[in-house]
Structure 1
Amino acid sequence: MDIFPIRSDADHRKAVQEIERLWDAKEGTEEFDRLDILATLVDAYEARRWPVEDLDPVDTIKADMELNGRSLSDLTKVIGKSRASEILKRRRPLTLGMIRKLHHSWHIPADRLVGEYELSH
């Protein structure tokens, strides 16, 4: 089993690609063990790289976009073209509908999207 430490974003991308390749591994196999170990390493790296407790709802969205290679265009598909840019620039608050859509589409925990944050004017 060839396991490597995750010390950089490049290592992280490589590990995530390997996890995707192994995703359907059967429990009890060497592939499943590799998947389990890599998932644990990725989780630890992500917790260090992007600490969740420090993020407000907008920063949570931005971190998710960076982590998953998503763009403003991807966000517009979820919450609408006119609103996406305003949300990221903190000119408009997230609505309950937007929070639900982000939670269901991108699997961002809803509690990470509900907190208060300052708007810029």
Structure 2
Amino acid sequence: MEAIRPIKTEEQYREALKKIDSLINAEPNTAEFELLEVLSILADDYENKHYAIEPLDPIEAIKYEMKEQGLKQKDLVQYFGSKEMVSQVLNKKRPLTLKMIKNLYQNFGISADILLA
């Protein structure tokens, strides 16, 4: 069995992905499955260090959902309380309140993690 080492380079990462792909159908409780688990953990660690995803801005997430659902600012009044509040929040002049976050999460389908960022 080949030695397992930390993934430090892009080349090592690509090789690990190839090996993971070849082991993807390994049966549980086998040496191949254990190798798959270890390589997956190492690849995940490399990805987290080199391909970190920045948290999504809550206002940008709201605007994205508005666009996807074909909504206008007036459609958000029920979640924000007033047209003025919608405008202020979307222009980042006023922060989201907990009540707004709760309404958006429950009714608009935006993750609370994103809204609380």
TM-score computed with the length of structure 1 as normaliser:
0.49
Distance (Å, rounded) in 2 between the aligned partners of 1:78 and 1:53: 26
Offset, 1:55 = 2.6
Highest CA radius of gyration, 1 or 2? Answer: 2
Q: Take 2:75 and 2:54, find their aligned partners in 1: how far apart are those partners? A: 24
In the TM superposition, residue 64 of structure 1 has moved relative to its aligned partner by 0.5
**2:71 corresponds to 1:70:** yes
Aligned residue for 2:102?
100
Looking at structure 1, the residues matched to 54 and 79 of structure 2 have their Cα atoms a distance apart, in angstroms, of 24
Identical pairs, percent: 39
CA distance in 2, matches of 1:66, 1:54: 20
Query: What does 1:33-48 correspond to in 2, within 5 Å?
Result: none
State the Cα distance separating 1:58 from its structure 2 match.
Answer: 0.4
The amino acid across from 1:69 in the alignment is G
Matches for 1:1-121 after TM superposition, within 5 Å: 55-81=56-82, 82-115=84-117
RMSD, matched Cα: 1.6
Distance in 2 separating the partners of 1:89 and 1:110? 20
- The answer for the alignment partner of 2:11 in structure 1 is none
**Would the aligned equivalents of 2:59 and 2:90 in 1 still touch at CA under 8 Å?**
yes
Instruction: Give me the whole-angstrom Cα distance separating, in 2, the residues matched to 1:95 and 1:57.
Output: 12
How many residue pairs were aligned? 64
3-state DSSP of counterpart to 2:96: coil
Distance 2:99 2:78 in 1: 14
One-letter amino acid of the structure 2 residue matched with residue 103 of structure 1: Y
Tell me, in whole angstroms, the C-alpha distance in 1 between the residues paired with 2:108 and 2:54: 19
Helix, strand or coil for the counterpart of 1:111? Answer: helix
TM-score, scaled relative to structure 2: 0.51
The Cα offsets for residues 26-82 of structure 1, whole Å up to 9 and x where unpaired, read as xxxxxxxxxxxxxxxxxxxxxxxxxx9553000000000001111101111211113
